[in-house]
A = this chain, B = another copy of it.
C-alpha cells in the first residue's frame, strides 16, 4: 500500500518546503518506498489523522500512523529492515540524534529567521495571519525585524557549517561513502531555504554547496522536483 506523507505547503500545493517534511521525503525515497503527499497548510495540521500531532510530517503506512521526522526514520528502518538502512546500525541511530540537535540548534535559528518573510509571503491569507501571530509571539518582535538577521548573521552561519565542511575532506557524505539519515537532516535545513528564498545562503565555491548538490541528485533528483525559489 502506498504510504501517505502529510507535507507542508503554502498557497502553491506543488512546492513543499518544510525542512522536517523534506527529511521524511528523502527517507522514504532512500528506502525505495512509494509514497503520495497530502498537501497540508499550517491551519490544516490540527486535523491531520484526527489530530495525532501538533506538527508534520506525519505518515500513514497501512494502519501505522507515525509523527516526527526522526521517529519516522526509526520506524522505517524497523518496518523495512530488508531495504537500505537509514542509520547503519544502533550506533548510527544514537549519533544521528546529536547531528539532529546540531542542525536544529545551529542552522535552524538563523535559516528560519533569515527566510521568515519569504515563508510568510508563500502562505495564503488565512495562513499568513496565523503565521504572523504565532511567529511574532515566538520571536517577540515583528516578522520584518526578525528577518534582518539575514545579512548580519550570514558570515556566522557560514562559519557554523565548518564541522560539516571539514568532515567533507574525509568523506563525501555524513553517512560515509553514501548518504544516511543525518545527511537528510542537514539537507532538509538547506532545502527549506532553497525552495522558499532566493537569497544565496551558501557561497558557490563552498564544499558544503557541492555536498548539497550531491544530495539534490539523490533518488532520481527528488529534491529538484521543486525548483529553487526565484
Among A87, A92, A99, A182, residue most surrounded by chain B Cβ atoms (within 10 Å): A92
Interchain CB contact under 8 A, B176 and A98: no
Cα–Cα distance between A93 and B170 once the two chains are bound (Å): 12
Which residues of B have CB within 8 Å of A101?
A: 163-164, 166-167, 170
Complex alpha-carbon distance, A167 and B173, angstroms: 22
Which residue from chain B places its CB closest to the CB of A182 in the assembled complex? B95
Residue of B nearest to A96 (CB): B95
Interface size (A, Cβ < 8 Å)? Answer: 32
Q: Which of A58-107 contact B (CB under 8 A)?
A: 85, 87-99, 101-102, 104-106
Q: Are the CB atoms of A98 and B180 closer together than 8 Å?
A: no
* Interface residues in A162-183 (C-beta closer than 8 Å to B): 162-164, 166-167, 170-171, 173-176, 180, 182
Q: Which 9 A-B pairs have the closest CB atoms?
A: A88-B91, A89-B89, A91-B92, A94-B176, A95-B95, A102-B163, A101-B167, A101-B166, A101-B163
How near does chain B come to A188, taking the closest CB pair, in angstroms?
16
Residues of A within 8 A of B (CB): 85, 87-99, 101-102, 104-106, 162-164, 166-167, 170-171, 173-176, 180, 182
Q: In the complex the two chains form, what is the Cα distance from A98 to B99 in whole Å?
A: 8
A-B contact pairs, 24 of them (CB 8 A): A88-B89, A88-B90, A89-B89, A89-B90, A90-B176, A91-B93, A91-B95, A91-B96, A91-B176, A92-B92, A94-B175, A94-B180, A95-B95, A95-B96, A95-B175, A95-B182, A97-B171, A97-B176, A98-B164, A101-B167, A104-B166, A105-B162, A105-B163, A106-B163
Residues of B within 8 A of A102 (CB): 102, 163
